[in-house]
Structure 1
Amino acid sequence: MKFDTALTVLAALSHPTRLATYRLLIQCEPEGLSTGQLVEASDLSQSTFSTQLAVMAKAGLVVSEKRGRQQIQRANIDTLRELMLFLAKDCCQGRAELCEPLLAELTCC
């Protein structure tokens, strides 16, 4: 992941509604949730939520697919993986032993 892309993704996640939405979508993988379900969970109006969703889509955090009459939103796990790798590589500076405690926490849950 390039530096500018990481900044875009982090900026998109820096809003409480967008972060909560993305976390919810991750929990609902691989099925995803309809846009209506996400609007209900956010307690925002449809138009306000659509603006938030557009920011997430532009950052590559969500992908949308049509299922029947519904628009289903799914977390783009590839973007999350790329961001995590970008952050971990910078953090560890090539020293894998520095990230071992983090990896241990991730595998225990």
Structure 2
Amino acid sequence: VGKGEGYAELEYGIARELGIVSEETLVATTVHDLQIVDSIPREPYDLTVDIIATPTKLIKVEPRPPKPPGIIWELLPCEKLREIPVLQELAKRSKARKPCRE
């Protein structure tokens, strides 16, 4: 579980929009053993991980969970769009009818 601000998801979404990463790109994280759970609720924009490293083990997540396809514009808060210039530029290129949610 992240810190709740969604910046990892935004960074991943931006990288997907730019073609820098794909569904096949592995995502890894480090956590404490006590943070491992079988499942957690997910939103469509949540970035899932493929490999988890703890102090005592390395876990390969299987089956590989789906990753967000890029920025999900209709779920992006307009405040984030106003605050982050690269999102403004990507929104201009996007075919999204509404580039953010109020």
TM-score when normalising by structure 1: 0.33
TM-score when normalising by structure 2: 0.34
Higher strand share: 1
Higher helix share: 1
